[in-house]
Structure 1
Amino acid sequence: MSIFLKILLIPLLAGPLLVALRAQDPAGDPRFDPARLDRAGKYPVAIDAEQIPEEFKIEPLGEGKFRLGQITIDVAKRQLTIPVAVAETRADLEYALVHSDGKTHESLLVTDVHPARLHIAALLLFAKPGTPVTAELSWTTNDRKRSIQLPELIGITESGRKPVTWSYQAISMPNGQLAAASELSILPLIHDAAALVAHQLPAGDLRDDIYRAELPESFPAKEQPLSLTLSFAVPKKTRSGELTLSAPTSAE
């Protein structure tokens, strides 16, 4: 195991758990006391590795890959892969992906992976607000793997409208809870400040009649399992020493 991966195991145990606990609704949990809020509105939770719940434990898969619940984390490629299913193919779309308990009637895809878990996994890739994110959908037909960039399945009804682009945002509410943990929105097609990932639109752009599903004839049946891979841009240093973000690596 490389030195980088050994170092990575440290935040895998402690840091993500703190994020996960803070991302949940603290109401009714005796570990959370409003009187203990710090100036940033965060709960200073202290917990050791033996107290980490099973759902937050990281399973090493080898070759720089890990599993967190249903999420496969590829550190080298800066990718997260999750199971998804088709939700809506006819109505106007406001989302490309939401949690299965979220606004499924307005979303092309759904997943049982909670946004808070995705946030933990993204932090393990050192994702920051503003990091560009791409999404690729894949499935297997007749033992042959097929894939397509998610925006290619989303038709745009208004001429002159720019293609769909996403960047990571993960907004926290004043009580420290992850906004997406409440709204359950992951990949929006409208401006949504609470979604885990942002679609690059002006704040006032809330029209819901711009995007529609545009699935090819070869697309799998609605009940067939699909995988969605989110790729996060790689920070690189410029000649001046400043960090910039390059395009994410495409899923294989």
Structure 2
Amino acid sequence: MQTLSGLLRSGSVIAIAATLGVASAGAQSPPDPAQGAIDGSGKFIPATKPEGGMGPATPEAWKEEVAKLIEKTGETTFRIGRIQCDRATRTISFPAKINAREGLVEYALVTTKGKVHEALLAAEVSPLHLHVAALLIGLAPQGEAPKPVPVTIEVEWATNGPAKKLALEDLLALAHESPQGKTGGTLARGPWHYQGSVVDAGGFAAERDGSIIALISDSTALAGNPRAGGDDDTLYLPNTALLPSEATPVTVTLRPVPPAP
């Protein structure tokens, strides 16, 4: 098992968010009024900006904050809130639901406090917990100038027969012709980019904004869409032909793209 001290190379986001009360609250708990409030779009507005630093001052304090989030469930498996991860298979899984079957979308996945009016999927999970899982399995960007990590993303749900499992890109259709394809086609097959969000004066941005997988450019989202023409906010639609009914429970799974042989 990777030591908690090994996580500290990317652990500052955890310490900062925990300092703001995010880590213990999770994605579904309302913020303390003294910390701030959620506006009409689901965005967290901090009451005040942190002063004198944004997290525990020592590595020992960081270890304590990280340790509070992680529950070991097996030899290589862990639970962080509603997030399951496996260091042997390098997978992260969590529950979500179909949020939209029609209309333009700008996000593939948000939290239920995020921009649900423009998202294909919604999940009652904490982006902070998801990022801790990414750190545990070595999925998060690392280094002084971190580059996004290519990942595959699958969505699975129960049927009357075998479970249905599809690549996330198959569940999204193109509203008009673009560099990605013709009108009505699905997104080009290929990886998504796990970018890990950012930390700003308000804390861990993905937790505050509820943005998990963005279709258009959004540095606050945990993961983004690297496909050509991705900045077009009129391009993406739910692929109704393949989607189950709205509110259907699904499981979302992320894993790193295997290195080329």
TM-score bracket for the superposition, by shorter chain length:
0.7 to 0.9
Bigger mean CA offset, 176-185 vs 89-98? 176-185
Residue among 239, 251, 255 paired with 1:214: 239
**Alignment match, 2:71:** 58
Equivalent residues of 1:42, 1:176 under 8 A apart: no
Query: C-alpha deviations, 1:9-50, integer Å up to 9, x for none?
Result: x22897487642313563868xx9732x3xxx7652543877
Letter in 2 for 1:114: S
Is the alpha carbon distance of 1:20 and 1:161 closer, same or farther for their aligned partners in structure 2, counting shifts above 3 Å?
same
Residue 61 of structure 1: SS of its match in structure 2?
Answer: coil
Q: Say yes or no: does 1:77 pair with 2:77.
A: no
Letter in 2 for 1:181: E
Residue among 194, 199, 219 paired with 2:220: 194
TM-score, normalised with respect to structure 1: 0.74
**Alignment match, 1:44:** 57
Q: Say yes or no: does 1:130 pair with 2:148.
A: yes
Letter in 2 for 1:211: Y
What RMSD in Å do the two structures reach over aligned CA positions? 3.2
Equivalent residues of 1:132, 1:166 under 8 A apart: yes
Residue 110 of structure 2: SS of its match in structure 1?
Answer: strand
**Alignment match, 1:223:** 247
**Alignment match, 2:31:** none
Equivalent residues of 2:7, 2:136 under 8 A apart: no
**Alignment match, 2:51:** 34
**Alignment match, 2:16:** 22
Equivalents in 1 of 2:62, 2:117: separation in Å? 41
Residue among 4, 7, 15 paired with 1:11: 4
**Alignment match, 1:240:** none
**Alignment match, 2:176:** 158
Equivalents in 2 of 1:13, 1:70: separation in Å? 23
Q: Return the offset for 1:142.
A: 2.6
Residue 121 of structure 1: SS of its match in structure 2?
Answer: helix
Q: Return the offset for 1:111.
A: 0.4
Is the alpha carbon distance of 1:174 and 1:19 closer, same or farther for their aligned partners in structure 2, counting shifts above 3 Å?
closer
Aligned-residue sequence identity (percent) comes to 27
Equivalent residues of 2:150, 2:257 under 8 A apart: yes
Q: Return the offset for 1:89.
A: 1.3
**Alignment match, 2:43:** none
Bigger mean CA offset, 166-175 vs 124-133? 166-175
Structure 1 unaligned spans of 5+: 235-244, 248-252
Is the alpha carbon distance of 1:216 and 1:168 closer, same or farther for their aligned partners in structure 2, counting shifts above 3 Å?
same
Q: Say yes or no: does 1:139 pair with 2:157.
A: yes
TM-score, normalised with respect to structure 2: 0.71
